[in-house]
Structures are given as structure tokens and as C-alpha cells.
Structure 1
């Protein structure tokens, strides 16, 4: 339910600005939580703000949005009817689906783009002048901006891209008073079903579409072309991303080959010496590029194998965790069931023990003591069973991690061996080309008889045997450095990835194990403390009753 259509009622007497604090949040959660016995149990379990899904912070003169980062699992947040001036500090609320900031003093739509799961955004009754700052909220279904100060119709084209938008309210803004506004909006945002909280009729939709038919047709044609370009761009980016994680980026074309000649001025000049050298160059390029392409295809296949290995690993690990969790939950349920029975029996016995004239007083005291011992024994045995299960699971997961590491290392090593074969073939092709080109250029030089007879245009690259030897040596070394560098980068990156992956898996299991051990200990310790508090309360009640009886006798 929204607040739209009526002015807010402020229940706070003071007009002083208020702040969101931990205590305020806890009090609101308690106030908005379950009532009666359920509410009592809710509070006794301890208020965990990080687990709260919904909260209303209304009519409290809140000036700044603050301290909400502790409520990371919030799905629904109502901050309406306050004096908030700026949208801020919501970065941690990534699970938020509904945000109500109606009836505040907000002038700018900002700091909202990270709320990717937001479906409902209510900003009714603020001071907003422009619809902006929500470009990434693709899941948005309901948007209310009524009673703001939006003057232009620019927001219509802005909101056209929100394909999931179904309900939109702009009532009370200056822009709605312009002639033809509603037809313009209905025509250009056809996905909207409800406008100002009234369903758009088929007649309205038809009339609006007819009025803007030509303009809409031109726009749709333009959008189709833009979409085609964007789809192609995304496909290319996806392709680059895929080959990047396969470690064979830029090997599906002539990039590596061209890179060898990029800074090799002499090499380019030598290969274009005559038709024979040019033909040798083209043959070298074909041979080299074939090796690159084969390596590229191999990289993609090997990435698929690694991805499948990771999938099987995660499936095995998750199943192990889920099975262990189910077993632990069944054990916990039995403990909680027996705990409820023991608490009930102990409470009844302690009430009976208060009556000092009870005929079987000693027997009841003994029964209460036995129940207390039984509960302590239950907690101890449960702790032992749960710890045994956790130790077993931890050892199993460590073994799985080790097997995964071995399997993945084997896959990576196999890829390295095959890749090194391709790089070796590239180096061989380069050496063969260099040798062939040396022979061709030498024969070319011999045609002139004397070095002085070499044409001026060839003097710089092959004017003498020393120049020729130096140029071929430099070109050969430069090409090998490019090939070796690409090989080293591939192997280095893949090794680093594998090392980081396996280390993270080991550390993740260590964290999970530590947290689980602490959780088991804390849970059972809490049960023990709860039982002790029950006994202490009853004992305190007995002592109080005894004191009251004694005081009455003295009077």
C-alpha cells in the first residue's frame, strides 16, 4: 500500500531531525515483528539485523539515510514521510526489490544504479526536477514520481528503454498539464499498463498510436538498427571475453604474425625485395597463421574441459554440503523437540516445588535434577555428533579439493604441452623463413657482382655482407622474442589462474569449517544458557515468594 493521494500524518512531537541508529533499527524490528509468544521467542533468539527482510522507518524526521549497511538482506525498505534530502548509503542493499522514499525533500535521483534487483521505486511527493540516475534498473516494474516538480517531457524517451515497466505515475507534475502529454507518453512507452494507477484502455492506446504512427515507425526502425549494432558489439565482447579466459586471445587471426613485423623495418624491407621474397613471405604467413589458428581452437576446447571439471567439482562439493546440512538439521530438530519437552516438564516441576507442602517434594526435586542432567547430556552428545559430522565433511572436502587440484593441473599441463608444440612449430617456421630469405637475398646480391654495384635503394638493408648479416640476425631475434613473449604470457597467466583458484578453494573450505565449528558451539551454548536462565527465573521466583511469605508473617 502506498501513501499517495493523502498527506502524511506526522506523529512525532519534536521537529528536530532524527538519525538512523542501531538501537532505532532494533526497536523498529521488534515493534514490526511478530506478537505474542512468537514475538517473545523472536526477541529471545536475538535480533539479527543482517537477516531482516523488511523494515518501515516512517514519520521519524529522519534527515539522512545512514547505518542501513548492516541490513544487507533487506528486500523491502520504506523511508517515507521523513525529511530526507539526499539518496545515499544504499550501496550494500543489493537485494532490495522495493524502495519507498515518498514524502521527503529529495531533489535529485542519484545513487540508485547499483540496486539491480529493484522492482518498485516510489518517490512521490518530493522536489525532483528530472528523471535520471536509474539507467541500470532493468527490472523496474513500478515507478511513482507524482507530486514532484518535473517540467519537461524528456523522461518519456528516457523511460522507453525500461521494458519491464508496467505502472507509472506522474500525476501532479507541471509536465502533465501540457497538451497531448498523456497521448505522447502512452504512444512512446507502450509497455506501461497502468498510468496514474488507472489501467490504460485499448481506445486510449489506439488513439495515441495513430497520432504518433509515423514518428514511432521511424523511431522503431532506428532502434532496430541500433540494436543490431549493439548485438554485434556484445557478441564481439562476449567472444573476446571467452577467448581471454581461454588464454588464446588474438590468435584466431594474423595479430601475432603482424606483431612480429610491427617494429621490424628491415624485415619488412627484405621481404619486399622481389617477387621471390614476397612469395616466401606469404607462404611463411600462411604456415604461421595455421599454427595460431590450431592453437586458438585448442585453447577453446581446453577451456571447455576446464569449465566442465569446475562444474563437476562444484556439484560434488555442494551436494556434500547439502547432505551434511540436512543431517545436521534433522539432529537439531530432534534436540529442539526434546528441549521443548524438557523445558515444559522442568517448568511444571519447579512450579510444584514452590509448594513446600507437596507430598512428593523430594521426588519432584530429584526429577527436576534428572531432567537437568539429561538436558546437559543431550547438549554434550549433540555437540560430539555434530562435530564428528563436521570433521568428516571437512576431511572429505579437503580430499575433493586435492583431487580437483590434481585433475586441473593435469589438464593445464596437457594444454601446456600441446601449446608448446604449436609455439615450437611457429619458431621453426620463422627459422625456415629466415634461412630461405637469407639464401634468396644472398643470390640477389650476387647478381651485382660487387657490393658497390648494389642499387642505392638496397644499400641500407643489404649493401654489404655485414649489413645483411646484422639485419637478418636482428629480424630473427625480434620475431623469436615476440613468439616467446606470447608463449610466456599464456603459460604465466594460466599458471597464476590455477594457483589462485586452488588456493581460494582451500581457504574457502577453511573459512567454512571455522564458521561451522563456531556456529555449532554457539548454538548449543545458547541452548544451555537458555535452560540455565529458565532455572534461574524459577529459583528467583521461589526466593521472591519465600520473601513475601516471610514479610507477611513478620507483619
Structure 2
């Protein structure tokens, strides 16, 4: 348990330094809950990851560090320090407000992970370039006033932040150049406030009128860029869907083209004459049709798996929610009864003290009453703890059963899909064999038309100058095609099976982690109640040294 003296801990920062555990705990205690319960949690170091807001100000902090325990922080102020570099904030992914004003920061950097950030305050630093915040698309308020920003490039940069509503760039060299505000108001139309003052419609329209032609060209270029990005995203999303369906590149002629891209001999053979070219086109048509059917099947099976997962998660979440509701009711009853018992105990202790000063004969009855109340509280905790643990054991068993049912259902679904898919790959191999036979017949007939080998074109002699050479050539081409088909089948089977294996393993890990965490929370909850119970009053005053929670809770 941390025993932190707030004043001494904060004195650690009188010399330029880093953030320490003691500083964090001290500030959390000083700025956090005032009730004794809140203080106990923080001193145990348990609830640092539950803090939503903290101010680390005026502490001469030089380096940002040791903030990883504050994973759920929403608001952080590090203003009025001597910080020179933005760093070590990657873990604070829930942060919405960050104040780094009045420091010595020169570069805007290491902010990419803070994509939930809505307010960024960097007033009074040494920043010369606005950069490093491209991921902060939810940014609403940005204050970069009183820095060393010289040019206007930041205006176009900030144009992309469509959620930006308030900006402050005052006391930067760039603002002293005539026309800056017009340029800013015209090219960042989403702004509503500048230096926390609302921009009037007349100011904005006047600025737009001055830069109308440039704005028109800029908007035209932006539209083209956005269209291109939308197309790229559409293709990316489509590929992601096909990949998740394990049928990527099966909707077009990719697999067919891949076979012939690896088969130079095959490309030469199908161009021998019109008949071989027609056979090739027919083969391509048949092959692609089979691929497309497999592609459609893959999408359908992906939808089935997605729906199965959705139904599974609904059942799991319902089970967890039902258990949480029951647990919440048990805990509420404990707190309600605890309040009543603690009030009665305090009344008994008061009566005991008054009895010792007055009638000594009343002591025995009062002590008996106190013993009864202490036993009642012990029994309350014992019963509630058993109830919560029992509910958690039942839920864990149910989750394991549900996981097993899901595993069986999903395995059956996957096996059926793979069995059907293997049938399609067999059709692809069959079509390849038929094409190989057709080409053999067509080329053999073509070669037989020549009087002798001397008249066969030179570029064909090495490929099909005689029957044995033709057979060898076609066999090599056939093997290349089969290898491509077999590899694609193996890829589908292995990827789908590996996904299923990893998914089930992760379900087990997640459930065990949840179960372990719940048991720890229950144990900690009753440990806290026990501690609160012991702190209520020394049992020696009532002659209750033989009464305690430890023995009962251990049972």
C-alpha cells in the first residue's frame, strides 16, 4: 500500500524531472474523491487506471513519462511545466482533451494514437510548424497561439480537419502579415470561432470574395482527390470482404491469368492457330464461371458465419448482462444492509461509552447487542460472497458450454463449405485436363498437316515437333496449371481453418481472463468491506477480540 505524503511527493518535482508514481498517486488523492473509500482505493494503487482526469501542472516537469497506468484518462493537463518534447502518450487512446500550454515544446509530434482527441491546447510554446496531427480528425478546439509559426501553410493543412470549430493562432509571426485572417476565414470554412470570438458572416463572406477563384480551383482538386480516395477505399473494403470470405481474386480472371503468367509455353501453344485460340477462349470462359460460382459461395458462407457469430455474441452478452443484474442487486442489498448495521453499531458504541460513564450494569447487554450486530454483518458478507462466487462459477460454466456449442456449429458450417469448395476446385482441375486434351488433339492435327518435320515452323519444333515432344510440353504446362489450382485450394483451406482455430483460442483466453477478473473484483470488494468494517471501531473496546471477518471469509 502506498503511504504518500502529498506535499513531499510534489516536492520531487522542484528540480526539472519526470512524472513519477508518487506524483501521480499524490495528485490523484488530492484531486480525486474526498471520501475515505476513494482515498483507500487510490492509496492501494488500484484505481489509477480508472482515473478520467488529472492535472499535472506547475511541477517543473521536463519529460513526459509514467502515464501508462492512466489508460482510461479522458482529460490531461500538463501545462505550466518545462516540457520540451511530446512523448509517451501512446497508451492514452481515450484522451479527449490535452493541455500542453506554457511549456518549451518545439515540435508537434507523437500524437497519432490520440485519435479521439477533441481539444488540443499548445498555447505559449516554441512551435514553428503545424504538423503531426493528421490522425486527429475529431479535433474541435485547437490553440496554438503564442508560438513561432512564420508562414501560412498551416491554413491549408487545417482545412482537412472538418470537425474543427475553434482556433487560436494569436501572437504568432504569421498573424502579423496583412491578409492573414481573410486567408484563414476563406480557406477554413468550418471554423466558427477565432480566438474564442465568433466569426461573423460578413467577415467570412468578405474573405471568400477575396479568394473566390483560388477556392474554386482548390475545391475542384479536392473533389477529384476525394473521389479517388473513395474509389480506393471501396476497393480496399471489397478486398477485405473477399479476404474474410477466403475468395479473394476469384470473382474475376485473376486465377486463370495467374496460371498462364507462370506458363510461357502454354501461352505459345494456344496461339498456334485459330482453333487453339478458340479452345483457349472456351477454356477461359468455363474456368472463370467455376471461379465465380466459388466466389459467390464464399460470400454466402461468410454471411452465414457472420450471422452465427452475431447470434453467439447475443447469447453471451445476454448471459453476462443477466449475471451482472443479479450481482448488482446482491451488492445493492449488501450496501443497504451495511448502512443499517453500521449505524446500529455506532449507536451501540456510543451507548457503551455512555454506559461506562453511567450505569455499569448496562455494559453486558450493550456488548451482547454489539456482538449480535457484528455477527450479523459477518453473516451478511459470507452469504453475499458465496452468492456472487456461485453466480460467477455458473456463468463461467455456461460460457464454456456455449463456446463448445458454437465451436461445433461453426466447425460443421466450415467443413460443409470446404467440402463444397473442394468440389469446385475439382471442377477446375477437370476443366484444365479437358483443355489439355483438346489442345493436344488440335496441335497434333495441325502438325500432321505438314509433309514432314522440315516444314514445321521453327518456333514450334522445340515445342511440338513430334508426338513425344508435344506430350512432354503439354505435361509440363498441365503441371504448372494444376500447381496454381492446388495452391489456391490449399490457401483457402489453411486460412479458414487457421482463422477458426485462432478465433476459438481467443474465445477461451477472453473467457478465462473475464472469469479471473471477476473473481478478483469480488475478492477485492469483500476485502474492502472487511477493511471498512475493521476501521469502524477497535473491537477491543467492546470485548469482541474473538470476533472477526477473516475466519468467516476464508470459509
Return the TM-score normalized by structure 2. Answer: 0.92
Query: Aligned match of 2:476 in 474, 477, 500?
Result: 474
Distance 2:13 2:492 in 1: 67
Distance 1:13 1:66 in 2: 14
Match of 1:316 in 2: 315
Matches within 5 A, 1:31-50: 31-35=30-34, 39-47=35-43, 48-50=47-49
Match of 1:5 in 2: none
Distance 1:266 1:64 in 2: 65
Contact 1:353 1:364 in 2 (8 A): yes
Deviations 1:232-291 (A, max 9, x none): 111111111111111101111111011111121221111111111110010000000001
Match of 1:380 in 2: 382
Distance 1:538 1:54 in 2: 41
Match of 1:444 in 2: 446
Deviations 1:463-519 (A, max 9, x none): 122211110111111111110110000010000001111111122111111221222
Matches within 5 A, 1:255-274: 255-274=254-273
Deviation of 1:326 (Å): 1.0
> Alignment partner of 2:538: what SS?
helix
Distance 2:266 2:241 in 1: 34
Give structure 2 stretches of 5+ with no counterpart.
1-9, 546-555
**137 and 384 in structure 1: CA distance in 2 versus 1, 3 angstrom threshold:** same
Distance 2:540 2:26 in 1: 28
> Alignment partner of 2:167: what SS?
strand
Contact 1:139 1:164 in 2 (8 A): yes
Deviation of 1:14 (Å): 8.6
1:109 to 2:105 alignment: no
> Alignment partner of 1:489: what SS?
helix
**26 and 325 in structure 1: CA distance in 2 versus 1, 3 angstrom threshold:** same
Matches within 5 A, 1:184-199: 184-199=183-198
Deviation of 1:350 (Å): 2.2
Deviations 1:139-184 (A, max 9, x none): 0000001111111111001000000000000110010000000000
* Structural RMSD (CA): 1.9
Deviations 1:185-225 (A, max 9, x none): 00000100001111111110111011001111111111111
Deviation of 1:12 (Å): 8.3
1:64 to 2:63 alignment: yes
> Alignment partner of 2:230: what SS?
helix
Contact 1:90 1:111 in 2 (8 A): yes
Match of 2:368 in 1: 366
Deviation of 1:40 (Å): 2.3
Match of 2:278 in 1: 279
Query: Aligned match of 1:533 in 527, 532, 535?
Result: 535
Distance 1:439 1:325 in 2: 73
Deviation of 1:19 (Å): 2.9
> Alignment partner of 1:69: what SS?
coil
Distance 2:540 2:130 in 1: 62
Contact 2:371 2:544 in 1 (8 A): no
Deviation of 1:449 (Å): 4.4
> Alignment partner of 2:18: what SS?
coil
Distance 2:350 2:41 in 1: 25
Match of 2:24 in 1: 25
Deviations 1:267-317 (A, max 9, x none): 111111111111001000000000111111111111111111111111111
Deviation of 1:130 (Å): 0.7
Match of 2:497 in 1: 495
Contact 2:18 2:65 in 1 (8 A): yes
> Alignment partner of 1:309: what SS?
helix
Query: Aligned match of 2:395 in 366, 382, 393?
Result: 393
List structure 1 runs of 4+ shifted beyond 4 angstroms.
11-15, 540-543
Deviation of 1:330 (Å): 0.6
Deviation of 1:13 (Å): 12
Contact 1:350 1:538 in 2 (8 A): no
1:213 to 2:212 alignment: yes
> Alignment partner of 1:70: what SS?
coil
Distance 1:189 1:537 in 2: 70
Give structure 1 stretches of 5+ with no counterpart.
1-10, 544-555
Return the TM-score normalized by structure 1. Answer: 0.92
Contact 2:352 2:363 in 1 (8 A): yes
